[in-house]
Amino acid sequence: MPRFCANLTMLFTEYPVLERPMAAAKAGFGGVEILFPYDVNAAELGTALARAKMPLALINCPPPNYIDPDGPRGFAAVVGEEARFQQSFRRTIRYAGALGAEHVHIMAGVAGGPDARACFIDNLKWAAAFAPKQSLTIEPINTHDMPGYFLNCFDLALEVLDAVAAPNLNLQFDAYHAARIEGDVLGVWDKVRHQVTHIQVGGVPGRHEPTGGDFDYPDFFKLLEKQKYKGWISGEYHPVGRTDENLSWIS
């Protein structure tokens, strides 16, 4: 059976952050991810996760000021920000260790060109060597939702993974972004699935519940089960109403 987890940055926002793990557990999720947990006391969050018996599937790197609309969307590919990247990555790894996060998603940031590609690869090599026991991911993000984002195509992601060649660095596959970037979600999945360790889902095109819309998620979940995919499938979307009003997709 697929392992479904809830993105607590987007889901169950009807509750305070420390109450969301228990809400997710009661709703039937097997785990959670939190994109940016840095403003929450790690010990208190760890207690909330343990009380709910919710493993933490993933957190993002960096930054705590991501919620600032003018703040950077990561800077692993931004030339000149290498020291800042290393500082933020060290902080992320401390949080990941304290909370038992399975994966850390490294965000590339807004950049472009061969220098950005080289910078991204160098930073990823450094990160993979700095935390060799921590699973790391990179994720292509469409430029409609995040203009100028460096890692905006799956072919580029595969090239970067090949160049870094680190066993603890793999691909994060977001079906919503795959639809936005290439249109053919299943075609992209077939091309990249050998590198994927974490999946995120959201309705196409509105990034609401993964039901209806332009992509058949029930068939996708059946395919993943047939292919014996072992990782998490995270609901990363904006609920139309209360989160618990439409969770039929995990049943």
What is the set of active-site residues? 139, 236
Closest to 200 measured CA to CA, from 171, 167, 159, 225: 171
Asked, as a colleague might, if the bond just before 16 is cis with ω within 30 of 0, I would say: no
CA dist 192 and 171 (Å) reads 8
CA dist 204 and 131 (Å) reads 35
CB 172 within 8 A of CB 196: yes
In the chain, which ranges are E strands? 3-7, 31-33, 56-61, 103-106, 135-138, 169-174, 196-201, 232-235
> What is the per-residue DSSP string for 21-44?
HHHHHHHT-SEEE-S--TTS-HHH
